[in-house]
Structure 1
């Protein structure tokens, strides 16, 4: 690790990973990894982990997609600010959510940020994300802003990307709230062979911690709860059940529904899970 002396003139913000594409309005902007912003010394390429500058407050902004580096791979704070895109007249702010990021030991994780409008109306038809300090400086020292690669933002409208209320077991998993079609969560789930709502619910009932781990830290606790609540409204039209006999003299069996949720016990007769004692549930 490296501590930048206060006399350094080589501070720069950087996004730590590329964005996960495509990006749609209303869906959380994701990175290919955890989307974070780091303060680095451009001479050593090390993250600034000590000093007050490692605790900077950073603002995320939207830039014109054709904003390129100036001479010597640099730009002024004024040039950066001149390329910030504001919302169209009468529209909501272009970025919604946690647009301020607090750095700790030189790194801050981007929270739940989404676009409220597409990029088709701008001069390049593309956006970039940028990150800046309040005035482009820290204690009079220039802090060069960060910017991502350029990208298109598409409207998240129409049946093609619509969530289902309620979902059905055969729906693709991105029909659940907070899981964007072809977004980072969708890709992670598909990689683990979780393709349908049924797959999602089955793993939720059988191994919820593993499902949570697959979705990763990019999905906040609040987002997780919203997704789970939506999944639990699923219409389970199948009468199919799975019966698991316990190894005991009582010949007791546990009854699961089509997605691995416990529905009751069979001993001498079927007892619904709602009618079980606390001891029987254990």
Structure 2
């Protein structure tokens, strides 16, 4: 009995420590909650809801100025169609959009009139084909004629670099914003992408690009190609939309060695160091320059007129083998169609014809051309005299 009583006391004391419990199965009452107590959400769900609300507010804030601008522009366009009397000068401080048409209903656009000489290399001069200048004109697209009068024909232009994948055709319309979105700027930490004359001033609707050099290659942009672009500079032709110009896409390579390579075949206007055995800024280059020989054409002209003099200019430092290689390379140059006619004092009816490197190519007698292969013996004797006289001159 005593043991049983002790057991009951212990059990009773345990129940006293667990109020509301009645035996081992009474633990379910602990999960009951006060129905008046408010539900407290988890911390994670609170953070997610706050972020959603913040993002929505930011989105609305960023969209508001865009929507305002779009609505403002549409209102301006609608009012402009109703006539100048109905259109206010300004809406919310914005000026009216540029007119598409120029004076007298003209449709103005810039256009390149020269193709670029390719390939292009960093540090090399940007030129037209065969070393020609690069021209740009202001056209009236309605007539196809160059605009030679009016303030637009004397506008200042900016020369820019464009993405090569700006693929809209020249006769396809694009907006000013589309053009500007394809302008390429220099890479961070690099020099300006174009160095030189980055502005052109039109004169009676025609402009000529000065010296331009690319300072970086085109391998780092998406299309791996550039285009040259041209637009009217800020402050000129305000209120008139003049469509920009662009060239074909091209690659700019970064290879310093290309600037010192020999040309095969060399061109007449190439620097003389483009020939084999003549190093750029080397001893032979200096000797030739000091004697007025700057181009391949100059070299070939003296080679024809006085080969011995040319050989002596280069001196003993050039071996016979080097000389033969140099002359052989120079003679692969493609000549132009330029010719000279020399008339002797004795007769004005017969003239000797020379090409642009002073090689004799035939006679003109009584308005008839006679090639060297068809000359008579007497004519050949006369030719020697003509060549001697022409060489003296």
What range describes the TM-score normalised by the shorter chain of this pair?
A: 0.5 to 0.7
Asked if structure 2 preserves the Cα contact closer than 8 Å seen for 1:58 and 1:103, the reply is yes
User: Match of 2:111?
Assistant: 14
Q: CA 1:5 to 1:150, structure 2 compared with 1: closer, same or farther past 3 Å?
A: closer
Q: CA deviation at 1:199?
A: 9.4
Cα deviation per residue 1:243-282 (whole Å; 9 max; x = unaligned)? xxxxxxxxxxxxxxxxxxxxxxxxxxxxxxxxxxxxxxxx
Deviations 1:145-186 (A, max 9, x none): 0000000000132xx3354xxxxxxxx7x6xxxxxx68xxx6
Q: Which blocks of at least 5 consecutive residues in structure 2 are unaligned?
A: 1-100, 279-283, 299-312, 320-393
Partner of 2:163: 64
Tell me which residue corresponds to 1:142: 241
Aligned residue runs from structure 1 range 205-224, under 5 A: 205=291
Please say if 1:102 is aligned against 2:181.
Answer: no
Would you tell me which structure has more helix in proportion to its own residues? 2
Higher relative contact order (CA 8 A, sep 6+): 1
Is the Cα–Cα contact under 8 Å of residues 9 and 141 in structure 1 kept in the other structure? no
CA distance in 1: counterparts of 2:156 and 2:232, whole angstroms: 7
Report how far residue 60 of structure 1 moved. 0.4
2:269 to 161, 184, 189: 189
Equivalences for residues 62-211 of structure 1 within 5 A? 62-69=161-168, 73-135=172-234, 138-157=237-256, 160-161=257-258, 163=260, 187-189=267-269, 195-196=275-276, 197=278, 205=291
Gaps of 5+ in 1: 164-171, 175-180, 213-233, 241-282
SS in 1 for 2:179: helix
TM-score (structure 1 length as normaliser): 0.59
* Equivalent residue for 2:317, pick from 238, 244, 258: 238
2:96 aligned partner: none
Deviation at 1:202, TM superposition (A): 5.4
TM-score by length of 2: 0.43
Question: In the TM superposition, what whole-angstrom CA distance separates every residue of 1:218-255 from its partner, at most 9, and x where no partner exists?
Answer: xxxxxxxxxxxxxxxx9865389xxxxxxxxxxxxxxx
Deviations along 1:1-48, one digit per CA (max 9) or x if unpaired, are xxx972334111111111100000111101113201111111111111
1:42-95 per-position Cα deviation (integer Å, ceiling 9, x unaligned): 111111111111111000000000002179711001100000000011111111
8 Å CA contact retained: 2:268, 2:295:
no
Cα–Cα, structure 1 residues 66 and 201, in superposed 2: closer, same or farther, change >3 Å?
Answer: farther
Partner of 2:154: 55
| 1:274 alignment partner in structure 2 | none
SS in 2 for 1:58: strand
CA-to-aligned-CA distance 1:93-118 (integer Å, 9 cap, x gap): 11111000011111111001111100
> What residue in structure 1 maps to residue 128 of structure 2?
31
Report SS of the residue matched to 2:165: coil
Post-superposition offset of 1:200: 10
SS of alignment partner, residue 105 of structure 2 = coil
Distance in 1 (CA, whole Å) between partners of 2:134 and 2:179 is 21
Q: In 2 relative to 1, CA 56–211 (structure 1 residues): closer, same or farther, beyond 3 Å?
A: farther
Structure-2 separation of matches of 1:105 and 1:45: 15
CA contact (8 A) 2:275 2:296 kept: no
